[in-house]
Amino acid sequence: MKINGTPYRSVWLDADGRSIRIFDQTRLPWAVEELVLSDEEAVAHAIRSMQVRGAPLIGAVGAYGLAMALRRDPSIENLERSAAMLNETRPTAVNLKWALDRICAAVRNHPPERRAEAAYAEAAAICDDDVETNRKIGEHGLELLKEIAARKPPGEPVRVLTHCNAGWIATVDYGTALSPIYQAHDAGMDVHVWVDETRPRNQGALTAWELGSHGVPHTFVTDNAGGHLMQHGMVDIVIVGTDRVTRNGDVANKIGTYLKALAAKDNDIPFWVALPHSTLDMSVRDGLTEIPIEERSSAEVTATTGRLPKGGVGAIRVAPESSPAANPAFDVTPARLVTGLITERGRCGASEEALSALYPEKV
């Protein structure tokens, strides 16, 4: 996608052919700053601190981190140690493990001197795969948006509510939940997006920045506004991304997603989840008990980050100094609340039968 008219991916190889460049997402949308990551420790820090974030993007960046580790030491011991170290940075999104496993499988049978080269090639393939996958998710999601538009009075926009950021900056390009919206806008459809702020890390600001840069009409709302908007007939569809979808169709996503799904169910509003194949974890049967939910620092809750009145980016305290805080970063929406899944292979129900039919090779 474009920033000030220049096309970008969210991760790319630097001129030296070894380091990668990313946008520092702890600074977006207030400052657009590139960061160079040159070794696996820098990659691990970038993922942990959320300089890069979003399930598909942390997979792609983690893959390059493992390639960097192999350039330093191509032994199988280092491959396994570095993969474990990178995998521990964020536990909920399965895309990270998926990408690291893919690198391990691609390099293991090569002689040591060929392993780093093979890992870089595989990391590049993961990135290209993500871009094409998300483009196809957009095509299938566009069909869904067209169906909704056809049922509305002429001249009314299709009103989508989204939570967190599942846009191009959360993937290598296009995004998952936002990909259909970009395609709809580009096809001339009248679409409007309600953007949840998404405390505590304010990923909604990233979504609003993305949509604004692309000219998509949107409105930024508090996390608590969604239920009210739905009760008053102001939302036609909810579309969110996900960090892990289990065999039975349970969906892990940013904290607060479950509440949106409950409100959507109560108001008969379709609740759709967009996912690439790398987010599907058929090894997990029950999302509620088996998906590890990341618990992040309470400091993210007691303070909020943004543009300071005197300029610059920084945090201001919002909770009393003495109040403890808790910060579960994700929740699980049970399959029964999910209307359907939008994948690169088409739409399907949130159920084992439907997922097995669409992805027989994963069963």
Residue 100: φ, ψ to 5°: -65, -40
Given the residues 243, 250, 281, 331, the one annotated as active site: 243
Bridge partners (DSSP) of residue 161 are 194, 238
- Find the helix or strand (DSSP H, E) in which 340 lies: strand 340-343
Does 176 participate in binding ligand MRU (rule CB under 6 A)? yes
Active site residue 243: yes
Measured from the CB atom, is 107 or 193 closer to ligand MRU?
193
254 annotated as ligand-binding: yes
Size of the site for ligand MRU (CB under 6 A): 18
362 annotated as ligand-binding: no
Measured from the CB atom, is 79 or 92 closer to ligand MRU?
92
Handedness of CA 274, 276, 279, 284 (dihedral sign): positive
Residues 246-285, mask of contacts with ligand MRU (x by CB under 6 A) = -------xx-------------------------------
Measured from the CB atom, is 164 or 332 closer to ligand MRU?
164
Q: Which of 9, 11, 53, 159 binds ligand MRU (CB under 6 A)?
A: 53
Bridge partners (DSSP) of residue 315 are 305
135 annotated as ligand-binding: no
What minimum distance in Å lies between the beta carbon of 56 and ligand MRU?
A: 5
Does 54 participate in binding ligand MRU (rule CB under 6 A)? yes
Under rule CB under 6 A, which residues in 77-96 are in contact with ligand MRU? 93
Measured from the CB atom, is 28 or 230 closer to ligand MRU?
28
Say what the alpha-carbon torsion angle 317, 46, 330, 259 is, to the nearest 10 degrees. 60
One-letter amino acid identity for 190? D
Distance in angstroms between the alpha carbons of the first and the last residue of the chain = 34
Rounded Cα–Cα distance for residues 363 and 361 (Å): 6
Q: Supply 22's token pair.
A: 């990313």
CA–chain centroid gap for 21, Å, is 18
Under rule CB under 6 A, which residues in 317-336 are in contact with ligand MRU? 329
One-letter amino acid identity for 167? G
CA atoms within 13 A on the CB side of 284: 21
Cβ-based neighbours of 360, under 8 Å, separated by 6 or more:
none
335 annotated as ligand-binding: no
Does 74 participate in binding ligand MRU (rule CB under 6 A)? no
What minimum distance in Å lies between the beta carbon of 73 and ligand MRU?
A: 29
Under rule CB under 6 A, which residues in 104-163 are in contact with ligand MRU? none
Q: Which of 29, 141, 241, 287 binds ligand MRU (CB under 6 A)?
A: 241
What minimum distance in Å lies between the beta carbon of 118 and ligand MRU?
A: 27
Give me the helices (H) in the chain, please.
40-48, 55-72, 76-87, 95-107, 112-150, 179-186, 203-214, 226-231, 257-266, 287-290, 299-302, 352-358
Catalytic (active-site) positions: 243
Residues at the site binding ligand MRU, with contacts judged by CB under 6 A: 53-56, 93, 164, 166, 170-171, 175-176, 203, 241-243, 253-254, 329
Binding residues: 53-55, 90, 203, 253-254
